[in-house]
Amino acid sequence: MKKLDADVLEFLGIQVGDPVEEELSTLTDSMTVFQRNIPAPPQLNPILGRSSYIDDIAYGAETWEQLCIDRDRLLYRLRYWGISVSLPKSEFGKETISYLSHEIGAEGIRAKPKIAKGVKDLPFPSTLKGVQSFLGSLNYYNKFIEDLPVIAAVLYELTDEKIRAGRDLSRAKDAFEVLKRKIVSTPLLRHPDSEKPFVIIIHANPWAACAVLGQEYDGSFSQFVLQGECCTIKNSDITQLKRR
């Protein structure tokens, strides 16, 4: 492509007069997810304020006038590059939109309520595979639930034998219920304001770490990024008492 967004050109350090390779490269295993036409994983953060995802486009503005201007610019670029969109699947001028299983509005982003409420009556899994499936689904809520790795750590310690025998599952079941309640009541993650100072709150112990990034709004703290990681401990002398 010989014509690109000026911000992208500046970010890549490319001068307008630089020669552009027109020949398409062959498909290789070393190509990025975008070159291979595979949806980008969540680890790829936005660059220059742009988030990329195959098949979906979402945009917003602070005023109706700016929203219309951005829409016209977007449609112009789509037409310029010969990209078509499905009108029946498109929405314009909405206060909130559904995007990748999230609800996005002027105030912020939240998990889709219907998806969250689906786990309300979920029973405790009877197999290790069931526990692992539940833990895998928590990756979607990782940015919404503070201290998630700390709460879920006891579930990661379970074995199939222990679950089938039903021995010493009280702490695991308590953690399971706590996580279900937190999923149902996932908070609103506000959009960050670059003009306000940021606040980082960190929780950590020898086997898990969590961090919350937020800002102060109307005298109260509002988070917009929640992140955590649970460390796998093997052959450790840390007692159950220390873990608690």
Flag whether pLDDT at 28 surpasses 60.
Answer: no
Q: Is residue 85 part of a domain?
A: no
Q: Exposure of 210 by Cβ count < 10 A (0-12 exposed, 13-18 middle, 19+ buried)?
A: buried
* Single pTM value for the model: 0.54
pLDDT, mean of residues 53-62: 73
Q: Which structural domain range is residue 177 located in?
A: 113-243
> Which has the higher per-residue pLDDT, 228 or 57?
57
Q: Is residue 92 part of a domain?
A: no
The pLDDT of residue 235: 42
Q: Is residue 16 part of a domain?
A: no
Total tally of structural domains belonging to the chain: 1
Q: Is residue 66 part of a domain?
A: no
Structure tokens at 28: 């290789």
- What is the sign, positive or negative, of the torsion defined by CA atoms of 53, 54, 56, 61? positive
* Closest among 159, 239, 170, 164 to 206, alpha carbons compared: 239
pLDDT tier for residue 116 given thresholds of 50, 70 and 90: low
pLDDT, mean of residues 57-78: 86
Q: What is the pLDDT of residues 94-113, one digit of tens each?
A: 888 887 777 888 888 887 76
Q: Is residue 163 part of a domain?
A: yes
* Mean pLDDT (the chain, rounded): 72
pLDDT tier for residue 174 given thresholds of 50, 70 and 90: very high
Q: Is residue 5 part of a domain?
A: no
pLDDT tier for residue 241 given thresholds of 50, 70 and 90: very low
Structure tokens at 17: 């007069």
Q: What is the pLDDT of residues 208-231, one digit of tens each?
A: 777 888 888 777 787 777 777 766
pLDDT, mean of residues 160-165: 86
Structure tokens at 87: 């009108």
Flag whether pLDDT at 20 surpasses 50.
Answer: no
Q: Is residue 58 part of a domain?
A: no
Q: Is residue 64 part of a domain?
A: no
